[in-house]
Structure 1
């Protein structure tokens, strides 16, 4: 049996930060991951996705400026982009493992199962630890339909050596929209089938409407209020059956992608043997990210049931908090206010703070500023047809309660609103700050 002060299950951003921080303070630390070290963001999500989006950004800008300022739209190539992406991904796990070795962290490459409240089975090794951290992230949600085994997931999509000629995405969340936009610009025929009456339910409806229209203009077929009920093999492709208000309908696609959301990757760890309470949203934790039923266990990132959005920056923050609470006792609590989130479509959609619906439910007294502004200089200069905003301003104080954007550099502009909400800035504060011009960020003064 091997003994540790701290043992971390999962080597994504949360687990990595916990392991390195605890080891740097002299604790004996071990870490395991059944997948290559790096986690979803670095290897199977945000980073490789953003690399693959690079060529599509060039193409989108060229499409906008075609016959305005340039004469030719460049061709983009999936295979070449994939090779460029893979160079980044392949370099990450050994780099991370080297950092663990430097910090004298023992590394394992096996799944972990609980034996008791303080013991784990990791491959052939029995591990005992004073503190065990569950940071296993999330995985694609099961579809629970006939033919589910034929659907690939986001990881498979980012590893396609050849892009299928047609794709059907099951689910209308951010993964579906980001990958649908990417695939369409690389030349694939794309369909999104979503069970709800509107896609991207967690984002502002006014802003989502702008993205929906831009998506349709690209030639992407968006099917709403339809449940996918089966997937079948058909003529070297796949036939997808869906049922909506108008009855049953079928689509054919070269490949089907399950983008129907993600669930915590915790259900095969024998948590019951460790007296760790959990539910569909993850491990039940208290305000210090400690298991509510086993004080020896902490959880962070997508594996924990918290009020945080399942985003990499949130996992990083929670990792630092767990490490501090292990080292110094339970002294730190996560703060989930003003966390920005982005849908990396083109145009980009971003949000931070309260939605209008949330603000109403909380009984806040606020005003709404919103408009479509493709004639503003930020959009006009690059001939971008989609640019809109909605901001929520508290009437009594003038404080920014929420901001929702779509358009050029929305992923950057939203950070200004996040800082404003966090710092308690008012609309007057933002209007009187001197910002660079001409720049996208200078538009904030007209949005508040």
Structure 2
């Protein structure tokens, strides 16, 4: 068996692994990056970027419909094949560009599946054993399996993003952001969309009252949302599928559609790595790392991105964790991971976004805080857009005035919560934000409405 030695081996070329490999290559280290799928990872190829290409279409169509009573005439429609051709024109070149970016920095690229063989070695089929001073696990995540009969009849999120034609009816299994975003897209494009969720609460990573407002908005757009409907089985039915759920009073209910999508989220893609051979511990939510992004059980191994715990499966988090890894490899023990103020968004119409703590988290952590909340649909900003469902809930610590959490459903929510996220990260107070001379009229200015 041949053996090649590097300074650093990176497993995965996504937002975390790609940053690490490129920056360490620029720093003059001998780096190899191993990728078993497309160069670039989930976010640019099978996640954020293609999803947002479709979601932007959704916003434009639904925004025009919202303003039908404000002087906008005509009914926009989506030409799905044209939309998909545009998506491919944007997404397809990415993998080649990522591949070239590694070679431009002297990084060795290896296409294959890596498996640990020891505390500082991995094996890639056809190449033999590779060793390194440090190995970085940035393997990302894969769709979660439901472990129900007929599961293979469900489309994955990857397949949804590659549909050449839009089915006339679609079921989305799960009440997380994938199902909500995809159902919103499908409905705006003309499909009959239904969400089936196993428990009462949808979008558990987001504020509950605002999530319920979003459900109302989705229903107005023609999306049916059924909670407390755990899926029992999936069966073929004519030219589509039949999904059997357990409804109220344990009564079985059948839903039939041309296609069904598993939107049950993603799980760390670690099972094929043989982490135990490297002495690397993992938990239910990913590889266990410390504040310096090192394995808690093998300091030669680092981790970053969707496959590690603690963290959040978000691209900006992966980028921050990657920066921490790079700094600690170049200068040991020089950096700690800080994810305070992390913001996230559900790209539905309207967008639901958050930064910082949920109300229940703030209570569990013992904070004494006040909730500033209201119906944002009454703002002139939303009236002008014809947006009927909007709201906000801001958590402010009573003694210090610091913002603990910000939750907003409405236009440009993904940008507004970025402002709150920065405030949380840097300890800004309610008074600090109210003193800022925000541009007006703008949605940045609505920070004053939320804290007034």
- Alpha-carbon displacement from aligned partner over 1:164-203 (angstroms, at most 9, x marks no partner): 1111111000111011100100011111110111211121
2:203 to 196, 200, 212: 200
Deviation at 1:54, TM superposition (A): 2.1
> Pairwise mapping of residues 2-151 of structure 1 onto structure 2 (< 5 A)?
2-125=4-127, 126-151=129-154
2:242 alignment partner in structure 1: 239
Distance in 2, Cα, partners of 1:238 & 1:282: 33
Distance in 2, Cα, partners of 1:399 & 1:282: 31
State whether structure 2 residue 163 is matched by structure 1 residue 165.
Answer: no
- Alpha-carbon displacement from aligned partner over 1:83-125 (angstroms, at most 9, x marks no partner): 1111111111111111111111110111111112222111211
- Alpha-carbon displacement from aligned partner over 1:387-423 (angstroms, at most 9, x marks no partner): 2111111111221111110011111111111111122
- Alpha-carbon displacement from aligned partner over 1:322-351 (angstroms, at most 9, x marks no partner): 111111112211112110110000000011
State whether structure 2 residue 220 is matched by structure 1 residue 223.
Answer: no
Deviation at 1:73, TM superposition (A): 2.1
- Alpha-carbon displacement from aligned partner over 1:214-257 (angstroms, at most 9, x marks no partner): 11111111111121011111112111111133311111111111
Distance in 2, Cα, partners of 1:96 & 1:361: 43
TM-score by length of 1: 0.98
Structure 1: stretches of 5+ with no match in the other structure: none
TM-score by length of 2: 0.97
> Pairwise mapping of residues 20-419 of structure 1 onto structure 2 (< 5 A)?
20-125=22-127, 126-246=129-249, 247-306=251-310, 308-419=311-422
Misfit runs of 4+, over 6 Å:
none
Tell me if structure 2 keeps the 8 A contact 1:191–1:220: yes
Distance in 2, Cα, partners of 1:371 & 1:282: 37
3-state SS of 2:39 partner: coil
Deviation at 1:373, TM superposition (A): 2.5
Structure 2: stretches of 5+ with no match in the other structure: none
Distance in 2, Cα, partners of 1:185 & 1:271: 44
Deviation at 1:68, TM superposition (A): 2.0
- Alpha-carbon displacement from aligned partner over 1:408-445 (angstroms, at most 9, x marks no partner): 11111111111111222221211121111111110111
Deviation at 1:303, TM superposition (A): 1.0
Tell me if structure 1 keeps the 8 A contact 2:171–2:196: yes
Deviation at 1:128, TM superposition (A): 1.3
Deviation at 1:22, TM superposition (A): 1.1
Distance in 2, Cα, partners of 1:172 & 1:380: 29
Distance in 2, Cα, partners of 1:324 & 1:37: 24
